[in-house]
């Protein structure tokens, strides 16, 4: 199996689980992920303060349905966990269709699809169903059952850390709070897991965060505020497996190193780069003004811009192994650049140093890329004034980053450069 096919298999395996911002569905998801990468799991009790927020009660659900008086289930949680509004309080009643209607959610403009709805912080209950199904429900009485609990418990999140040569960190974050939505959010989880598995002896320390959206990120930030200065770069992954081209959302700073890295990696691909906005995924928490971290967000088709978004149409068939593979490749290229990007000083800045007597011209003989390699050396020497990174040089010269790095390595070995 290709990496894309393996990630798709993970998406399919996680898809049936009923996740929310808390609860056993999140724990079960993390247990499966732990088979792929070792996780440290954290449980934060209900009532814990997290800046302006408080960790809510834990929600779990066992079953739910709307049945006619013969016992036939018209809407069945066992068929899809999207059928129940997230965080619905318990219900056990018989009511008429008119009494039931205020608690029913459909998509009239997409009548065959079931919407995804939640009610995290406003106690209530409801069902989601296809408009086509609702149109077929006759007037009369229905048995309505939601077998759920909302009690003091915990918010659960997990970390996977890949130690680096330095303790400065790059965080890779994805959200674990959505139920059966394959592109948003399982594709991001799968890419993050396989990205973590691919790292070997990196320069930076990489911290992968699997946590519920908004409240999870805010809780993590509140628990790590005293060490947040170690976070130098970051990337939020979401909507990572659809057929659309890649989209990068810049950090709040707009000129963070991660912004330049993604611009460089994507420059030869069909892509879109958008400015930061305080709406979206957890980049908005990491980029809140009190932290203002260099964290951007990578997706394919962004949230709410594909018709299957937050509906039953976002199923494993909507996610493509080739798209997962492409997203993973871009992430790997971006982290490779982050790890190798340095700023050098030319130790022989008065005129162009003689490269031939140092064997730097001779070492290029016969190589098909000799001209580019020589040009890269000249660019690196000229721009290495302590103010331009290798990525800056690659962008200005139009040369591949790999060529610029190779030139810098050769010049450093010849004692013409220092970090």
Provide the annotated binding site for Zn(2+).
178, 184, 310
What is the rounded distance in angstroms from the CA atom of residue 75 to the CA atom of residue 65? Answer: 5
Token duo for residue 356: 């031939």
What is the rounded distance in angstroms from the CA atom of residue 180 to the CA atom of residue 320? Answer: 16
What is the rounded distance in angstroms from the CA atom of residue 57 to the CA atom of residue 198? Answer: 36
Q: Cα(first)–Cα(last) distance of the chain, in Å?
A: 42
- Whether 397 and 415 have beta carbons less than 8 Å apart is answered as no
Token duo for residue 383: 């721009």
- Binding-site residue numbers are 178, 184, 310
What is the rounded distance in angstroms from the CA atom of residue 80 to the CA atom of residue 73? Answer: 13
Which DSSP letter does residue 15 get?
T
Q: Any idea of the CA torsion for 208, 209, 210, 212, to the nearest 10 degrees? A: -160
Which DSSP letter does residue 102 get?
G
Neighbours of 141 (CB within 10 A): 13
């Amino acid at each position: 199996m290709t990496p894309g096919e393996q990630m798709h298999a993970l998406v399919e395996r996680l898809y049936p689980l009923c996740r929310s911002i808390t609860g056993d569905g999140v724990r079960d998801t993390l247990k499966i992920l732990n088979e792929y990468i070792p996780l440290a799991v954290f449980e934060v009790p209900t009532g814990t303060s997290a800046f302006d927020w408080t960790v809510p009660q834990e929600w779990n659900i066992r079953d739910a349905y709307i049945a006619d008086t013969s016992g036939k289930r018209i809407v069945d949680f066992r068929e899809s966990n999207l059928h129940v509004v997230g965080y619905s309080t318990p219900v056990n009643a018989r009511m008429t269709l008119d009494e039931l209607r205020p608690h029913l959610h459909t998509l009239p403009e997409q009548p065959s699809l079931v919407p995804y709805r939640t009610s995290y912080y406003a106690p209530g209950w409801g069902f989601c169903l296809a408009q086509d199904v609702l149109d077929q429900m006759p007037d009369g009485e229905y048995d309505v059952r939601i077998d759920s609990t909302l009690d003091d418990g915990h918010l659960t999140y997990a970390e996977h850390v890949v130690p680096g040569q330095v303790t400065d960190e790059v965080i890779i974050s994805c959200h674990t709070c959505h139920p059966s939505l394959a592109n948003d959010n399982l594709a991001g989880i799968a890419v993050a897991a396989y990205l973590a598995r691919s790292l070997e002896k990196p320069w930076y320390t990489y911290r992968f965060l699997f946590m519920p959206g908004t409240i999870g990120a805010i809780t993590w930030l509140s628990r790590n505020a005293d060490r947040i200065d170690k976070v130098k770069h970051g990337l939020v992954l979401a909507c990572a497996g659809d057929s659309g081209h890649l989209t990068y959302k810049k950090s709040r700073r707009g000129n963070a190193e991660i912004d330049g890295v993604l611009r460089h990696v994507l420059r030869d691909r069909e892509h879109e780069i958008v400015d930061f906005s305080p709406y979206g995924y957890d980049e908005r928490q990491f980029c809140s003004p009190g932290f203002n971290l260099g964290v951007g967000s990578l997706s394919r088709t962004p949230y709410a811009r594909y018709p299957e978004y937050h509906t039953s149409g976002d199923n494993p068939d909507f996610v493509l192994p080739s798209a997962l593979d492409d997203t993973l490749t871009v992430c790997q290229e971006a982290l490779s650049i982050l790890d190798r990007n340095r700023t050098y000083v030319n130790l022989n800045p008065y005129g162009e140093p003689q490269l031939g007597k140092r064997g730097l011209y001779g070492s290029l003989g016969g190589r098909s890329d000799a001209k580019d390699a020589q040009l890269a050396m000249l660019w690196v020497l000229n721009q290495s004034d302590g103010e331009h990174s290798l990525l800056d040089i690659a962008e200005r010269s139009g040369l591949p980053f790999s060529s610029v790095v190779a030139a810098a390595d050769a010049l450093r070995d010849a004692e013409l450069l220092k970090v």
